Structure 1
Amino acid sequence: MFRLSFLLIILLHLAVTGLSADEFSRHDFPPSFIFGSGTSAYQVEGAANEDGRTPSIWDTFAHEGKAQGATGDVACDEYHKYKEDVQLMADTGLDAYRFSISWSRLIPNGRGPVNPKGLQYYNNLINELTTHGIEPHVTLFNYDLPQALEDEYGGWINQRIVKDFTAYAEVCFREFGNRISYWTTVNEPNVFVLGGYDQGYVPPQRCSFPFGFNCSRGNSTSEPYMALHHILLAHASATRLYRNKYQGKQHGYIGISIYAFGVVPLTNSTEDVIATQRASDFLIGWVAHPLMFGDYPEIMKKNVGSRLPVFTDHESKQVKGSADFLGLIHYSSVYIKDNSNSLKQEVRDFNADMAIQLVNTLPDNTSAYEFPVQPWGLRGVLEYFKQVYGNPPIYIYENGQRSLRNSTLEDMSRVKYIHAYIGSVLDAVRNGSNTRGYFTWSFLDVFELLDGYGSSFGLYYVDLNDPGLKRYPKLSAHWYSHFLKGNMINSDYVFKLNNNLSTLCHTHCFQ
């Protein structure tokens, strides 16, 4: 424990004190390094009630008014506009596009017959991408469990989900795998279960008092651990199927993604240093430890006790080594303060078990709505994976700047953010990180889970007032395209972008 805590502090100190590269081009990265952007099914597709698709838990959540009264019924309507969007991707210069498959569009009842219209849509999208030389990176589950399975047996809190998820995954491997090289089973399960089963602010909104928000069912003290345990078993089962039946002829790779803050101790006290390591074990190790070592971190087993599920010897062997790569989701960094007193509470949830406080300290001139530009946090996370988990292949599947959603295309804060974070990835790669790809979130301004259309992350603005949902490039789209096409990037180019918006827009910007 002390040795790992000390290691963590040294690594993050190096990350904090080191400036990220400012001048670079994509040619500074390895030739095989992939740059892309992403979305997810419910956030972008629309057509929620068309062609046989049935509701997911995300539909239910949104229609109950939980996303600021907005829904993904139409979203960006990529279901009908996928050809236009793929052309935009090609024009931008993307190597790859990360998207998710809607389980309830492909298999409306969660298991059983495949929906031919859903199958046709994903075949069309994949074919359109490959025709334009854009590599599909596919996620099987992104918060959108079929409501039918949630109603039938409680979804992820029931081990029956392992069989149903594996069967769903096999349909995807069988039907699409000849054109897919990168599969992600589940998107950021650590955040999904904390939001969905501990605090209850995302679907399926299960939690218990006093830990959650307006939940009518659930148990915050145990269900997050149960749900993530079953996710790991489902991931391992799908991986075993893929490796035994499909990987040899399809030659693809399969992984899972993890949400990771950059973490730094609030003070240099021993207590905060140890708490920072504890935070990493709970937030990252919860998923990464079983994948790498076959079991949960020791501090989790100690603090959580009997509420933490136990892997059988067989399950441990199946989970260990079940990821060919890890997807990394990273947006911001937090400071950690020890809160060991929480371990004395008679009833505890995940946050009390972790025994820390997350402290946000915003730099001067930083909007409270936007993420502070702290690229050292991402570099520190990559270094942490290298040192603690044996430097696995990593694809940064989400990284981007949040802003209020409006009609401006002058998203200079997003340009500066992406510039700085790609520079930090370059530094990490030069320092030996096995990072193999970087994807911005998101390609378009999509429906966001927590606030619907109140915030945006997109390179392209979608005009919701236009019946055709016209797309408009922001400054960030121009910056990313310039970079992707091999041009040198530096601070001078960033400022030049800002000063030449009217020239860059041509006919694509607002009239």
Structure 2
Amino acid sequence: MTNYFSDYANLCFEAFGDRVKYWVTFSDPRTMAEKGYETGHHAPGLKLHGTGLYKAAHHIIKAHAQAWHSYNSTWRSRQQGLVGISLNCDWAEPVDTNNPKDIEAAERYLQFCLGWFANPIYAGDYPQVMKERIGRKSAEQGLDVSRLPVFSLQEKGYIKGTSDFLGLGHFTTRYITERNYPSRLGPSYQNDRDLVELVDPNWSDLGSQWLHSVPWGFRRLLKFAQTLYGDPPIYVMENGASQKLHCTQLCDKWRIKYLKGYINEMLKEPLLSHMQMVTEIVVPTVCTLCVLIAAVLLMFLLRSQN
């Protein structure tokens, strides 16, 4: 399948590359894998609990890397475009920020969501917590090998660095708390994560049952991705709110509020970077200059008195 996808990608590069300069190999592959091979809600409708989604994701990542290398070696020099991947993830906030288990569970949520695909592309392998959790539960379930596939050393080197930008989709936030699911319950993505997702009843609900307006989570997810993956160019690919009420006329003040809140949080991130620059560079420089000026003035004052 990775070879078929590479053929398809090269056909697209050849046909449209003179006009298209930004390419996204896969959009929201986590949903493709989970809903297609774990829950069966999307095509191909399989319910291979705790196995199918990891195999599907494994080949999606390899297919992405192969398409990137095809563009990089054949098309980039003449077309001057960029190739990336778009990953969707909610923000995970610990229920109790003073509880180490809740903090670890929130981190685990993000690694099983965003890190699942981003870590191989930016670091060369799956997140350590995924390898450890799935490996341990696989052994407890009587399996000789982990249900999470393994990249060979050659594949790790081939996949690492295959993204010119990180596409990010984000809609809402979840509170996360620790919950241990016994291995005897059988393999599943949910059981592997050992956590529970909760929502604050005070959050504004929107047109979809799963969607709540939590703007501050957007900034935290952006900061998380920026820090963890070496400050890559990040393009926001998906964000928005589904229709809350059926109406025949324009009635979307709630959508305007949602978008304004999320855009404002996104705009705060560059300001934080500038504030960091001010703190780390400008303030020490100004203080040093002030000390030097004060020393010069003191020298002139002593000479005038003499």
TM-score by length of 2: 0.82
Would you say the 8 A contact 2:175–2:197 is kept in 1? Answer: yes
Would you say the 8 A contact 1:366–1:372 is kept in 2? Answer: yes
The answer for the alignment partner of 2:61 in structure 1 is 232
Would you say the 8 A contact 1:343–1:355 is kept in 2? Answer: no
Q: Distance in 1 between matches of 2:242 and 2:189?
A: 26
Deviation at 1:431, TM superposition (A): 2.1
- Asked if 1:298 is matched to 2:138, the reply is no
Would you say the 8 A contact 2:206–2:213 is kept in 1? Answer: no
Q: Aligned with 1:185: secondary structure?
A: strand
The two structures, once aligned, show a CA RMSD in angstroms of 1.6
The answer for the alignment partner of 2:256 in structure 1 is 415
Deviation at 1:378, TM superposition (A): 0.6
Would you say the 8 A contact 1:182–1:254 is kept in 2? Answer: yes
Q: Distance in 2 between matches of 1:365 and 1:395?
A: 26
The answer for the alignment partner of 1:287 in structure 2 is 117
- Asked if 1:261 is matched to 2:93, the reply is no
Q: Please identify, of 260-269 and 378-387, the stretch whose mean Cα deviation from structure 2 is larger.
A: 260-269
| Letter paired with 2:230 | G
Q: Distance in 2 between matches of 1:313 and 1:365?
A: 47
Q: Aligned with 1:246: secondary structure?
A: helix
- Asked if 1:390 is matched to 2:230, the reply is yes
Q: Aligned with 2:163: secondary structure?
A: coil
| Letter paired with 2:271 | R
User: 1:413/1:304 Cα in 2 relative to 1: closer, same or farther (>3 Å)?
Assistant: same
Q: Distance in 1 between matches of 2:133 and 2:82?
A: 35
Deviation at 1:345, TM superposition (A): 2.9
Q: Aligned with 1:431: secondary structure?
A: helix
- Listed as ranges, the matches of 1:89-104 within 5 Å are none
Alignment deviations for residues 229-252 of structure 1 (CA, whole Å, 9 cap, x no partner): 000000000000000000111000
Q: Distance in 1 between matches of 2:76 and 2:182?
A: 45
Q: Distance in 1 between matches of 2:16 and 2:271?
A: 35
Of 163, 167, 184, which residue of structure 2 is paired with 1:327? 167
Deviation at 1:284, TM superposition (A): 1.0
The answer for the alignment partner of 1:351 in structure 2 is 190
Deviation at 1:361, TM superposition (A): 2.0
Q: Distance in 2 between matches of 1:380 and 1:311?
A: 30
Q: Distance in 1 between matches of 2:229 and 2:214?
A: 23
Q: Aligned with 2:220: secondary structure?
A: helix
Higher helix share: 2
Of 170, 181, 187, which residue of structure 1 is paired with 2:27? 187
Which consecutive unaligned segments of at least 5 residues does structure 2 have? 136-145, 275-306
Deviation at 1:307, TM superposition (A): 0.6
- Asked if 1:338 is matched to 2:186, the reply is no
Would you say the 8 A contact 1:376–1:424 is kept in 2? Answer: yes
> Which one has more relative contact order, counting CA pairs under 8 Å at least 6 apart?
1
The answer for the alignment partner of 1:504 in structure 2 is none
Deviation at 1:391, TM superposition (A): 1.2
Q: Aligned with 2:92: secondary structure?
A: strand
Q: Distance in 2 between matches of 1:400 and 1:174?
A: 33
The answer for the alignment partner of 1:242 in structure 2 is 71
Would you say the 8 A contact 1:262–1:333 is kept in 2? Answer: yes
Deviation at 1:264, TM superposition (A): 0.3
The answer for the alignment partner of 1:177 in structure 2 is 17
Alignment deviations for residues 194-231 of structure 1 (CA, whole Å, 9 cap, x no partner): 11111111222110xxxxxxxxxxx1121100000000
Would you say the 8 A contact 1:258–1:327 is kept in 2? Answer: yes
Q: Distance in 2 between matches of 1:193 and 1:327?
A: 18
- Listed as ranges, the matches of 1:112-131 within 5 Å are none
Alignment deviations for residues 347-380 of structure 1 (CA, whole Å, 9 cap, x no partner): 1211110111111223266457473321111100
Deviation at 1:408, TM superposition (A): 3.2
Would you say the 8 A contact 1:400–1:417 is kept in 2? Answer: yes
| Letter paired with 2:242 | R
Q: Aligned with 1:233: secondary structure?
A: helix
Q: Distance in 2 between matches of 1:393 and 1:170?
A: 24
Q: Distance in 2 between matches of 1:335 and 1:186?
A: 27
The answer for the alignment partner of 2:80 in structure 1 is 251
Of 201, 207, 212, which residue of structure 2 is paired with 1:362? 201
TM-score by length of 1: 0.50
Q: Distance in 2 between matches of 1:400 and 1:258?
A: 15
| Letter paired with 2:29 | P
Q: Distance in 1 between matches of 2:119 and 2:155?
A: 14
The answer for the alignment partner of 1:430 in structure 2 is 271
Q: Distance in 2 between matches of 1:365 and 1:383?
A: 23
Deviation at 1:424, TM superposition (A): 0.8
Q: Aligned with 2:196: secondary structure?
A: strand
Which consecutive unaligned segments of at least 5 residues does structure 1 have? 1-160, 208-218, 434-511
| Letter paired with 1:225 | Y
From the CA coordinates, give the structure whose radius of gyration is larger.
2
Would you say the 8 A contact 1:184–1:255 is kept in 2? Answer: yes
Percent identical across equivalent pairs?
33
Would you say the 8 A contact 1:363–1:372 is kept in 2? Answer: no
Would you say the 8 A contact 2:206–2:241 is kept in 1? Answer: no
Q: Please identify, of 279-288 and 397-406, the stretch whose mean Cα deviation from structure 2 is larger.
A: 397-406
Q: Distance in 2 between matches of 1:395 and 1:286?
A: 19
Q: Aligned with 2:273: secondary structure?
A: coil
The answer for the alignment partner of 1:478 in structure 2 is none
| Letter paired with 1:172 | C
Would you say the 8 A contact 2:204–2:213 is kept in 1? Answer: no
Q: Distance in 2 between matches of 1:295 and 1:253?
A: 22
Would you say the 8 A contact 2:207–2:242 is kept in 1? Answer: no
